[in-house]
Structure 1
Amino acid sequence: MTDDDLAAALDWKGRPIRCRECGHQAINAMGLCAKGKACIRDRRARRVERFLSVNRELADQYLDHPYFEVRAGAARYASVFRLAPLLDDPEGEVRAMATLRLPTDRIRHMIHDEETDVRIAAASRLTGRDLLPAIEDQAYMVRLTAVRRMPAELLPLVRHDPDPEVRAWVARRIDLRALPDMCFDPDPLVRRLVAERLPLDQLRLLIADSDFRVRFTVAERIAEEELVALLDDPEAAIRDLARERIAQVPQLAHHLEPAPAILRLLESDPSDPKEPQ
């Protein structure tokens, strides 16, 4: 049982709810609503949602209700042909729900809405160049939602986004031909994602990366003959991985042999009295 289930049954104006004053006594008798559980008059959004989820045919009549939680809940289940006016609703939650359900050709302008949640909803529905306004949005969640959906050919426009989470999604989806430019991203976790996708012949771009997680990813993927440079890596785990992979290639085994000691004969100094004459 949640706090929502324990809360008092009050309407959106804070007044106690009395079932005898409601016009839905017939469905109440059928067990399709219950005070404090599933009630269209309750001020708690979850209870309104429960009512509408089992009485969807009633949603249309609540699209102009004075309480925004009721309008938002009704917009989830109402006929899509009744939703267009809700794009101008004064409450962002209601506009967002209408944006999520209406055809995309009706919601292009919602990507410029003043409310972040509405712009996120629009970004989750729009495609192609309709998403371009979102890549400069001040809210990173709008940009992130757009980056997850936009065509790969548009992603180079976002590879320098100020938020590393957005750039991480760019690194996951960008065309491989544009990926090398992200080897110099300031965030090591973004660079590690780059290392996971970069073509093998380009991994040397990251072999001397400042972050050991990036170098470890390189050591896992790079061709064995390129691993020699990592035998002297500052991190033991990377050195061990490089040695392990090189050892599996007989032609490269000589790189693992210890360097022979070099002996030098020191010339004696004739002026040294300790030296035999």
Structure 2
Amino acid sequence: MRATVESPADDGPRTPVSHCRGCPHRRDLLTEGRCSPGDVCVRAMSGRQIERFFRVNPALADDYAGDSFWERRAIAARYLSQKKLLPLIHDPDEVVRRVLAYRLPIEALDVLIDDPDREVRITLADRLPPDRIERLAADPDYLVRQYVARRLAPGRLFRLIRDPDRQVRVTVAARLPLESLGLMRDDPEPEVRLQVAERIGFAEAERMRADPDWRVRARLAERLPPALLGPLLEDLDPDVRGIARNRVDRDPFDQEPSPRTKPTER
């Protein structure tokens, strides 16, 4: 798989080459200085030279939309008129379709939602409006679902609560509405529960005081009001005990969470 269009072969020496023989541009662009063998050349097998050619002659991109060389098509696609873009959605090369994912109008992007290339679908998850990316929530690639979890409306994140990927669930835990956060309280991954402990309401947080991971308990010891620290004062982990004891010693009469410890919406 080619990662990018910007990694072409070496430009080679800037000397006249056989590319000019039979080139349709040799009698006009070459004589006008709008192309140059070994430097600005659409016939070269060099992405840098092709890019320079279309930068100088963008109006000619339409003529190369169906070219046999994948890199020539991909670079030309950056300069194509909008009417020429849509026919390329079935281009056999993923690099060409990645260019389309960036350039197609938002209203036309749905045609690429089932594209086999992950980079195309990631671009869609990043560009589509939040109300049109839910179809990508079931994408087989975790990174696509990660983008969806970052952008989907918080009230629509429920289907990702049990996502198989840990990092996707961490993102969900950071954005899920507070009233639903308790659904992730028993997630099997400590990183997810740590994010839950960061935001969950105090009443529900009490049930997390026996969490098996000390980091989760330590975060609760930092957030909970002293009146709710309870078992954390006798926690098996000395760091957790120390945080809880310092909280009580600092403000033993505090029965309500202070403004700076109240959870906030994200």
- Cα gap change, 1:6/1:60 in structure 2, threshold over 3 Å: closer, same or farther? closer
Unaligned runs of 5+ in 2: 1-6, 255-266
Higher RCO by CA contacts (8 Å cutoff, separation 6 or greater): 2
Letter in 2 for 1:150: L
Aligned-pair distance for 1:40? 4.1
Aligned-pair distance for 1:194? 1.2
Cα distance in 1 between the residues matched to 2:225 and 2:85: 57
Please say if residues 16 and 37 of structure 2, whose CA atoms lie closer than 8 Å, have aligned partners that are also in contact: no
Q: Which residue in 2 is equivalent to 1:273? A: none
Q: Which residue in 2 is equivalent to 1:35? A: 38
TM-score after normalising by structure 2 = 0.77
- Cα gap change, 1:250/1:224 in structure 2, threshold over 3 Å: closer, same or farther? closer
> Which residue of 7, 12, 16 corresponds with 1:9?
12
- 2:72 counterpart of 1:73: no
Aligned-pair distance for 1:174? 1.4
Cα distance in 1 between the residues matched to 2:165 and 2:96: 28
Q: Which residue in 2 is equivalent to 1:242? A: 244
Bigger mean CA deviation after superposition, 102-111 or 181-190 = 102-111
Question: Counterparts in 2 of 1:1-277, with a 5 A limit?
Answer: 7=10, 9=12, 18=17, 21=20, 23=25, 24-25=29-30, 29=33, 35=38, 40-45=42-47, 48-49=50-51, 52=54, 56-251=58-253
Please say if residues 19 and 35 of structure 1, whose CA atoms lie closer than 8 Å, have aligned partners that are also in contact: no
Matched length: 241
Aligned-pair distance for 1:145? 2.1
Please say if residues 59 and 74 of structure 1, whose CA atoms lie closer than 8 Å, have aligned partners that are also in contact: yes
Cα distance in 2 between the residues matched to 1:175 and 1:85: 42
Q: Please give the secondary structure, in 1, of the residue aligned with 2:185.
A: helix
TM-score after normalising by structure 1 = 0.74
Aligned-pair distance for 1:57? 4.7
Aligned-pair distance for 1:147? 1.9
Aligned-pair distance for 1:186? 0.8
1:6-48 per-position Cα deviation (integer Å, ceiling 9, x unaligned): 93639xxxxx983872645468x57x87837x75444454564
- Cα gap change, 1:175/1:43 in structure 2, threshold over 3 Å: closer, same or farther? farther
- Structure whose alpha-carbon radius of gyration is higher: 1
Letter in 2 for 1:216: A
Identity rate of aligned residues, in percent? 35
